[in-house]
Chains A and B, each alone.
Chain A
Amino acid sequence: MPDATFLDSTELVLNMGPQHPSTHGVLRVILKLDGEKVLGTDCVIGYLHRGVEKIAENRTYAQFNPYVDRMDYVAAISNGLGYCLAVEKLLNVEAPPRAQVVRVILTELNRIASHLLWLGTHALDIGAITPVFYCLREREEALKIFEKYCGARLTTHAFRIGGLLYETYEGFEREVRDFCKMFVPKVDEYEELLTNNRIWKARLIGVGILSAEECKEYGVTGPVLRAAGVKWDLRKAQPYSGYEKYDFEIPTRANGDTYDRYVVRMQEMRQAVRIMEQAVEAIPEGPIMGKVGKVIKPPVGEAYVSIEAPKGELGYYVVSDGSTQPYRCRVRPPSFVNLQALDRMIRGGLVADVVAVIGTLDIVLGEIDR
């Protein structure tokens, strides 16, 4: 006779992933459950490990550029910007003004594309199926601009060290303007679907709370940090690529729960449109490539550059030994650091909220496993 009756609680260890669709890739979460309650989680990562940092040591600086797109493939352009800025800092060159403005436009467009994919899949996880269709529809418009600009939609390889390779195409400004005009009413549409929806609110408010102190302890950045009320955005704090010229706000919220993170990201999309609108009016004439030789051979030294990627602080640390290949390239991916807070956010919660919390962290496994 087993001793356990239905009154006893027994711990159940449940494996979620790596093929679970709501883990947004190949994340495996080991859940310790007491009935519906989560007692603890353990993340197993590395299923998508390709050794990108090691690959960097065997490639020249220019050759490594396409690989960084494959880390956070949802925001490939931001990755490219981070890497190019780091190598430019090593070389002590700066991209010409025209290149910087085009970079800002494309990175902000990529921020929107990334947030749209996040919104669609996050809503899908929670049970609202409609937004994903609308989000992908608008994301398509952004991807079309990428395709026309650089010839690829996802892993773009859009920027080169020292500036840009591709000149903007005919009608680039008009299309970006059209996108901005088209996009703001669409955000209103998503908000109409979700913001006041009672099911959406019931599933999100008070779920996965992470306070500002905890965010700082874990080193969490990006929208997760801002939803906890910390006004920290690297575009304002350490402006790069001419972000100091644009007028935009850092949206913050106070509670740090899943709903607040949703609101912050929605606001961020509106701010990204604002930046794009200002930038597209101010594209200066001039060269697009800085003074970089054909063979990139930075002097001995090291450089760390961090940028505000859609998911948080994305840092590139490149060490040069004076040869044509990086001695070491270390990436500080935002998703990897943000994922560490998962256990804190979900402990004591319900098993149904696990997917909501994984979704709200907006992780990309390509970046976590590298």
Chain B
Amino acid sequence: MFKLLKKIFLVDLFQGLRVTFRNQNPKYIYTEQYPAERPQVAERYRGAPRLNNNPDNGETLCIACNLCALACPENLIVVGSERNEATRRKELTYFTYDTSRCMFCGLCEDACPVDALELTQDFELATYTREGQVWDRQMLEEGPKPTQYKC
């Protein structure tokens, strides 16, 4: 009898509806309004690569040791170096990083002995062309400059 009444009065469905109405509270809005409202990613976020410069003199920190290229499972980093006869040290000539093949695993960052290569918090990496995905040294030093929309 009780069961029948429960069935007739749709108790189970109203129970579910109660949950839905409870969640109508505007306090429970979770959706981010992305282009207008940019998310704050975590500090350890592994996003766009960056080749850091020494903040004091603006020279690159990279010592062209090639360890990042060796650590990368996808072999997408190419480090070019030249021996400078005056200082007798290897110097970085070019550095390319193919973000289209990168899986942002962070192994290159871990391998770098001088913290020159770093995966930063920038996450907007879309480009219009495939070629645009291959970042050269200048791009890596400056970082991406995505268009920001204000609403």
| A interface list, Cβ under 8 A from B | 59, 62-67, 70, 130, 134, 137, 140, 144, 147-152, 155, 157, 165-166, 169, 189, 192-194, 196-198
Contacts and interface: CB of A to CB of B under 8 A. Distances in A.
Given A149-B44, A151-B42, A193-B16, A137 B110 contact: no
Nearest to A60: B73
Given A63-B73, A166-B44, A198-B12, A140 B30 contact: yes
Contact of A148 (B16, B19, B23, B43): B43
Interface string B78-96: 0000000000000000000
B125 interface: no
Interface stretch (B54-62, B101-109, B134-142, B143-151): B101-109
A59 B46 CA distance: 22
B32 to A, nearest CB: 10
A169 B12 CA distance: 43
Contact of B73 (A59, A140, A150, A152): A59
Q: Would you call the interface of chain A mostly helix, strand, loop, or mixed?
A: helix
Contacts of B71: 62-63
Nearest to A170: B43
A165 B20 CA distance: 42
A67 B73 contact: yes
B114 interface: no
Given A63-B71, A165-B110, A147 B13 contact: no
Given A63-B73, A63-B107, A147 B42 contact: yes
B46 A152 contact: yes
B41 interface: yes
Q: B16, B18, B44, B119 — which one has the most chain A CB atoms within 10 A of its CB?
A: B16
Interface in B26-57: 30, 41-46
A138 to B, nearest CB: 10
B15 A62 contact: no
B13 A66 contact: no
Interface of B: 7, 12-13, 15-16, 18-20, 23, 30, 41-46, 71-73, 103-107, 110, 119
Q: A59, A166, A198 — which one has the most chain B CB atoms within 10 A of its CB?
A: A198
Contacts, number: 67
A64 B20 CA distance: 44
Contacts of A151: 42, 44-46, 106, 119
B88 to A, nearest CB: 27
A134 B23 CA distance: 9
Contacts of A198: 7, 12-13
A166 B119 CA distance: 15
B44 A66 contact: no
Contacts of B103: 66, 70, 155
B67 to A, nearest CB: 11
Contacts of B15: 192-193, 196-197
A152 B104 contact: yes
Contacts of B30: 137, 140
Contacts of A59: 73
A197 B13 CA distance: 6
B21 to A, nearest CB: 11
Nearest to B73: A63
A70 B74 CA distance: 14
A66 B45 contact: no
Given A147-B42, A147-B45, A66 B110 contact: no
Contacts of B18: 192
Contacts of A150: 44
B98 to A, nearest CB: 16
Given A165-B110, A192-B16, 9 more contacts: A65-B105, A66-B107, A130-B19, A130-B20, A134-B23, A140-B30, A155-B103, A192-B19, A197-B12
Nearest to B45: A151
Q: B7, B18, B19, B20 — which one has the most chain A CB atoms within 10 A of its CB?
A: B19
9 contacts: A66-B73, A148-B43, A151-B44, A155-B103, A169-B44, A192-B18, A197-B13, A197-B16, A198-B7
Contacts of B16: 130, 192-194, 197
Contacts of A148: 42-44
Contact of B107 (A62, A130, A144, A194): A62
Contacts of B107: 62-63, 66
Contacts of A137: 30
A246 B35 CA distance: 44
Q: Which 7 A-B pairs have the closest CB atoms?
A: A66-B105, A63-B73, A151-B44, A151-B46, A148-B42, A196-B12, A147-B42
B71 to A, nearest CB: 7
Contacts of B43: 148, 169
A148 to B, nearest CB: 4
Nearest to A146: B42
